[in-house]
Amino acid sequence: MWLPRILLSLCLAAQASAAPLESVGPDAAPPAVSAHPPAEPATPRAPAELLEMLPPRAALPGAGAPTGVELEYTIDPELDRQVQEVLKVGRVNLGHVILMNPSDGAILSYVSTDPTMFPATRTYPTASLMKVVTAAAVMRHAPEAAKRDCRYAGSPYDVTNRHLRPPREGGRIDNFWRSLAISNNQCFARLAVHDVGEEAMLEEMEHLGLLEPPAAGHAVGRVEPIESPLDLGHLGSGLAGSFISPLAAVRLASVLAEGKLVQPYWIERVTDESGRALLLPGREPPRAVLSAEVAAELRELMVGVVARGTAKSAFRDPRGRPLLGPVRVSGKTGSLSGLDPKGRYEWFIGVAPAEKPTIAIATVVVNGPVWWRNASQISALVLQRVFCPDSRCDPEAANRLHAAWQP
C-alpha cells in the first residue's frame, strides 16, 4: 500500500495533555485454574484528536495530539499540488476544493487557500446546490411534477410571493431539466411549496446527509426557521435558508454516483513510535438513499447543467470545444451573496464520468467585486488535470488515483 506519510512532532507539553493510549496488556493475571485462555492484549486506539485533524494544508494539528505518531493519508500529494496550482493561477484568495472517491468516501484532495479566514470545517450558504435536494425530493415524492412544464414571468431568478403562482398566460416556459440546467428559482420555489412541502423538504435534506456532521471536526448543516410559503420557496430554490460545509457538498455530489451516502475519511492508518498500528473507529458502510434509477436520472439531468446550462462556458475551451473531450460531467452550480466572510459565494459540485462516476468534486470560492475564476471554472480545470493527464482526455484516467492507495 502506498500512502503519503505525515510525521507529527509536537512538544512534550502537548503529549502530556493527550488522552493516554489503552493498555496493551491484561489488567490482571488470569486465575490459576480456568477453562478459558487469557484475553488477548487490547489493540491501542488512535487518540480522538487525530481523527478531527484535516489533511495537510487544510488546518494545523491541534494541541493535544501525542508526539511520535505517524499518519497515512488517502490524499494524493501530486493531485493536491495541481489543485493548488489551479487555485493560484485563478487568483482565488478564498476557496476550497475537495475531491473524493464516491464509492467509499476516501478523500483524494482537500485544499484550502486560507484555513484561518475561510475554514473548511464551517458551514456556508448552500445556494442553488439545494436544487439537487429539491429535484431528488420531487423525483421521490412527486414524480408527476417532473413531467410538468413551468410557466414564469420576468427573471427566472427573482422569487417573491407573486412568483409562487404561475402567470395565467404569457411569460416563458421551461421543462424540468431546463429549469435545473439554468437554475430557475421561480420553478424550483413552486416545486418546493406546491409539490414537495415543508416536511418532505426537510426530510430530504436529512435523508441526503445535509443535517448531520459529514465527518469528524466538521459542522453540522443547518436550516433557518420556515415561517411562510415564501421561506419554503427560498429554501427549495436555494435563495436562502440553508448552510452546509464543503465536505457535506462533496458528500451530496457523491450520492449521484450510486445513490449511496458515504462517510468521508482521509486518515487510512495511524502508527505509534514503534510502528504498531493503532485502532481506528470503524467507518459506517455506504447507505442507500436513492434508488439506482433515480440517481442515474439525476446525473443525466445534471449533465444539462454542464453541457447547456449555467456551467457550459466553464467546461468549454476558447474554441467552444468540450474541455474534457469525451468525459461527461454531471454538476450543479450555486451563487449567493454572504457576509462571513463577505462576498459572492460560488459553488460547483459534480461527478465524472457521468455514465459511471469515479470522482466527486466540490468547489466553493468567495469572490469580491473583481475576480478571475468562479467555482465552475476552477472545477473544470481541476477535472481536466484528473482526466486529461497527458493532454489526452480519458474517462478511465481517474482510476490511477484510486489504485495508488488501495492494497
The CATH number of whichever domain residue 219 belongs to comes to 3.40.710.10
Listed as ranges, residues in the chain with pLDDT below 70 are: 1-67, 402-407
Burial zone of 251 (CB within 10 Å; 0-12 exposed, 13-18 middle, 19+ buried): buried
Burial pattern 336-373, b for ≥16 Cβ within 10 A else e, equals: beeeeeebbbbbbbbbbbbeebbbbbbbbbbbeeebeb
Distance CA 286, CA 177 (A): 28
Q: Indicate whether 149 belongs to any domain.
A: yes
Tens of pLDDT, residue by residue over 188-229, are 999 999 999 999 999 999 999 999 999 988 999 999 999 999
Q: Concatenated DSSP letters for 272-315?
A: -TTSPBPBPPPPPPPEE-S-HHHHHHHHHHHHHHHHTSTTTGGG
Of 294, 292, 314, whose CA–CA distance to 361 is shortest?
314
Q: Give the per-residue pLDDT at 43.
A: 58
Residues whose CB is less than 8 angstroms from the CB of residue 346 and which lie 6 or more positions away in sequence, other chains included? 333, 334, 335, 364, 365, 366, 367, 374, 375, 376
In one-letter notation, the amino acid at residue 36 is H
Q: Which domain holds residue 179?
A: 123-243
Q: Residue 127 domain-assigned?
A: yes
Domain assignment of residue 193, yes or no: yes
Residue 275 CA to residue 7 CA, distance in Å, equals 12
Residues 6+ apart with CB under 8 A from 37: 30
Helix (H) or strand (E) holding 353: none
Does residue 371 sit within a domain?
Answer: no
What are the Cα distances from residue 213, in Å, to 35, 122, 124, 206, 247? 46, 10, 14, 11, 9
CA gap 106, 224 in Å, rounded: 31
- Rounded Cα distance, 405 and 407, in Å: 7
Q: Which residues contact 217 (CB under 8 A, 6 or more apart)?
A: 51, 52, 53, 54, 121
Q: Is residue 359 part of a domain?
A: no
The H or E element containing residue 15 is: helix 12-17
Answer whether 0.95 is exceeded by the pTM: no
Grid cell listed for 43 = 489493540
Cell of 136: 431528488
Q: What is the DSSP letter of 191?
A: I
Assigned domain for 310 exists: no
Query: Hunting for cell 488501495 — which residue is that?
Result: 406
Count structural domains, the chain: 1
> Is the bond preceding 341 in cis, omega lying within 30 degrees of 0?
yes
Asked if the structure places residue 8 within a domain, the reply is no
Alpha-carbon torsion, ordered 196, 198, 202, 207, to 10 deg: -30
Is 144 a domain residue? yes
